[in-house]
Structure 1
Amino acid sequence: MPAFLDVPVSGAYHLVLWIAQTFEPLTGPYSAALAIVACTVAVRLALLPLSIRAAHGTKSRTALLPQLKEISERHKGDPERLNREIAALQAESGSVFAGCLPTLAQLPFFWVMYRLFSTAVVAGQSNQLLSGTLFGAPLGVHWPLLTSTPVYLGLAVLLAVVAYFSARWQARSADTQPSGLVGQLTRVLPYGTLATAAFIPLAAGLYLLTTTTWTVAERAILSR
């Protein structure tokens, strides 16, 4: 893990562990799982302003599509003039990076959260969050050892449902997505969470389910 992430991961670990210990008298063995969900929701709430800016940027780019199409038709025989006109339109609207930068700004937070729920040793000690259970399944165990319990199967089903709705959203916004093979890959990419879940601990899978569910709900609301 990059050294500059040691401090935020350590701080986040102690915070989530404190939340889990606070929940424990009421929730027992489910305290770590509930702390993971609660912490994930809290982080997504904190990042909501960035998500709103990203959504506004996407809407701005979508609004430019008719003008871009008109410019492409008007100057299709003059590639140099076409590039100048498109660059001028994008510069005038300020929409080139309006949605990209807020999205990129969220990546360090998501990386810290993933490391927190998938690393056996955090802050120089054993990750106690992975010692919890969810319906009898250890949070620190991977898919192959969980085949005898329905927990991971249930997680996979829920991830598939979330991926389905995410893929539907991608299909509805096809006009703003790349065409050809890249566009097809963009629309099937949500199902990659199923493959990811097979190689990460149940704790990280629970985080993945929570954050992807939030993303789908957030898109549905902010795209209105």
Structure 2
Amino acid sequence: MDIFAFPPLTLLLDGAYRALIQLVDLLEPLAGTTAAALAVILVTLLVRTLLIPVGVSQAKTERTRARLAPKLRDLQKHHGKDRERLQRETMSLYRDEHASPLAGCLPLLVQAAVIGVLYTLFLRPQIVGHANALLSHDLFGAPLGSSLVHAVGSGLDPATAIAWAVVLVVLLVVAEVTRRAFRPQAPLEGRLARRGMLGLMGALHYLTAVFAVFMPLAAALYLVVTVAWTLAQRTLLRRRYPLPA
């Protein structure tokens, strides 16, 4: 099923396409053939700038969770066999602290929506009945509308290989730095305390690089900018709102 066949989403896709094309046209005198790639980067920076207040709220909530960790462990110890009671007591604890266990979901949802639109814009030969001019753009010779998987299958040229190598190296380096700097803090009890589970949680940082190889290069550029921004933002906010010892 094509979700963009629904009228509201069709209008959204068409509006996003027209806005991005206008931005590309505006940047072409400055960036030339890389105008579309620069436009994607600017859109990413705009989205992340708008999400800064949410990031601050998320950092505060993360600090609150760390402070509440002993109380949460006590709740698990006393009500672990009664899932409904445990859920009620947990929500009551967060409510008393004016925090939410769901904090941080909004940035993920917004970014998922943006990358979904970018994926579609650089994948379809036609957008709402007219030719997709974005597919004619590239990044130093690497087509923005081609994924690494597709490029390998159709013959990988040097320009595309270099562009994707840079993208993947950046994603992997940022993932490794993030994994080391923000190790998940497991409770003293429960399944999450197992070493294997902690290792799995750490490995999740590398999934972005795995997903990127199946996306158009334009969407992969969005991922590169957003993961770098996320690392920088989390580092600064962790210093501003340090976790309790």
TM-score class, shorter-chain normalisation, is 0.7 to 0.9
TM-score calculated relative to the size of structure 1? 0.82
Query: Percent same amino acid among aligned pairs?
Result: 32
Q: Is the 8 A contact 2:144 2:217 kept in 1?
A: yes
Q: Deviations over 1:3-51 (max 9, x none)?
A: 2432222212211111111111121111111111011111111222222
Distance 2:173 2:34 in 1: 24
TM-score calculated relative to the size of structure 2? 0.76
One-letter amino acid of the counterpart of residue 130, structure 2: Q
Instruction: Specify the alignment match of 2:135 in structure 1.
Output: 130
One-letter amino acid of the counterpart of residue 201, structure 1: P
The verdict on how the C-alpha distance between 1:212 and 1:114 changes in structure 2, with shifts beyond 3 A counting, is farther
CA RMSD of aligned residues (A): 2.9
Instruction: Specify the alignment match of 2:69 in structure 1.
Output: 65
The verdict on how the C-alpha distance between 1:46 and 1:60 changes in structure 2, with shifts beyond 3 A counting, is same
The verdict on how the C-alpha distance between 1:109 and 1:200 changes in structure 2, with shifts beyond 3 A counting, is closer
The verdict on how the C-alpha distance between 1:39 and 1:62 changes in structure 2, with shifts beyond 3 A counting, is same
Instruction: Specify the alignment match of 2:229 in structure 1.
Output: 214
Q: Is the 8 A contact 1:131 1:138 kept in 2?
A: yes
The verdict on how the C-alpha distance between 1:192 and 1:86 changes in structure 2, with shifts beyond 3 A counting, is closer
Instruction: Specify the alignment match of 2:156 in structure 1.
Output: 146
Unaligned runs of 5+ residues in structure 1 are: none
Runs of 4 or more, structure 1, over 6 Å off, are none
Distance 1:47 1:29 in 2: 29
Matched, 1:167 2:179: yes
Q: Deviations over 1:110-163 (max 9, x none)?
A: 433443344443333333223211121121222214353312112111111122
One-letter amino acid of the counterpart of residue 137, structure 1: A
Matched, 1:111 2:116: yes
Distance 1:161 1:104 in 2: 21
Deviates more, 1:55-64 or 1:180-189: 180-189
Q: Is the 8 A contact 1:56 1:98 kept in 2?
A: no
Distance 1:18 1:205 in 2: 21
Q: Is the 8 A contact 1:132 1:139 kept in 2?
A: yes
User: In structure 2, the residue corresponding to 1:95 is in which secondary structure?
Assistant: coil
Q: Kindly tell me the number of residue pairs found equivalent between the two proteins.
A: 221
Q: Is the 8 A contact 2:186 2:198 kept in 1?
A: no
Unaligned runs of 5+ residues in structure 2 are: 240-245
The verdict on how the C-alpha distance between 1:109 and 1:7 changes in structure 2, with shifts beyond 3 A counting, is same
Which one of 157, 168, 173 corresponds to residue 169 of structure 2? 157
Instruction: Specify the alignment match of 1:121 in structure 2.
Output: 126
Instruction: Specify the alignment match of 2:242 in structure 1.
Output: none
Distance 2:91 2:219 in 1: 42
